[in-house]
Amino acid sequence: MNIGDLVIIDNPKHSYHGKRGKIVGVRGNRTPVDPWFLVYVIMRGRSFLVPKSMLKIVEARTDKNEILIWPLNGEIMKRDGKRSPQKNDSSKPRAKVVSL
């Protein structure tokens, strides 16, 4: 498990069992073989410390793609090394400027 991997909390005794998240940090060892991971839990919009023994990898981050999570809606996107071209979206309505 590495920073950037998507994981699921897999221990039924954990209060967030079944919730998905993204590893955003490592914070030392619970035991010599069980490190603490700082996991951003998508459904809660917060980060929690969870031991490795309670996590299961859903999707690993690779060098070619990066997994992005938008915190306001929990939407998961992937970004490869290439930037997608910006769309010129002039069809969106613009806000009216009112002077007083």
Give the start-to-end residue ranges of the domains of the chain: 6-80
Q: Are the C-beta atoms of residues 8 and 14 closer than 8 Å to each other?
A: no
Q: How far apart are CA 39 and CA 90, in angstroms?
A: 38
Q: What's the predicted TM-score (pTM) here?
A: 0.63
User: What does the pLDDT profile of the chain (100 residues) look like in tens digits?
Assistant: 888 888 999 989 888 888 888 899 988 888 888 999 999 988 888 899 999 999 999 887 766 666 666 555 556 666 554 444 444 445 555 555 565 5
The phi, psi pair for 52, rounded to 5°, reads: -60, -35
Q: Are the C-beta atoms of residues 10 and 24 closer than 8 Å to each other?
A: no
DSSP code string of 33-88: TEEEEEEEETTTTEEEEEEGGGEEEEE---SSEEEEE-TTT--EEEEESSPPPPP-
Res 60: pLDDT: 77
